[in-house]
Amino acid sequence: IIRLESQVKRNKVIADTCEAQEDELKQDKRRLQREVREMTSQIEDLKSQNATLLKRLDKLSRAPQSSTLRSMREGSQAR
């Protein structure tokens, strides 16, 4: 009986340790998933910004030189 009781105690300690590790892993998983969502959102924002800038660059490269300078000045004054 004493041997069985010691085995039960040992198994409880092991189970508690495993549960604590499982909780830590779950927290890490949630944190990493949150970071992935944030980074994915940031990537999408940057892609959108890049597309907008590429359109502006294309528009500027197609415009006549005098209007290009004028639009650049107006754009810098608006900021």
The pLDDT value recorded for residue 73 is 59
43, amino acid identity: I
Distances (CA, A) of 48 to 45, 59, 78: 5, 17, 22
Could you give the CA distance from residue 76 to residue 68 in angstroms, rounded to a whole number?
12
Tens of pLDDT, residue by residue over 12-22, are 999 999 999 99
* pLDDT < 50 stretches in the chain: none
The pLDDT of residue 63 is 79
> C-alpha dihedral over 34, 36, 39, 44, to 10 degrees?
-110
What pLDDT, on the 0 to 100 scale, is given for residue 78? Answer: 57
The amino acid sitting at 48 is S
Predicted local distance difference test score (pLDDT) of residue 34? 99
Locate all alpha helices (DSSP H) within 1-79, ordered by sequence. Answer: 2-62, 65-78
Confidence (pLDDT) at 1: 87
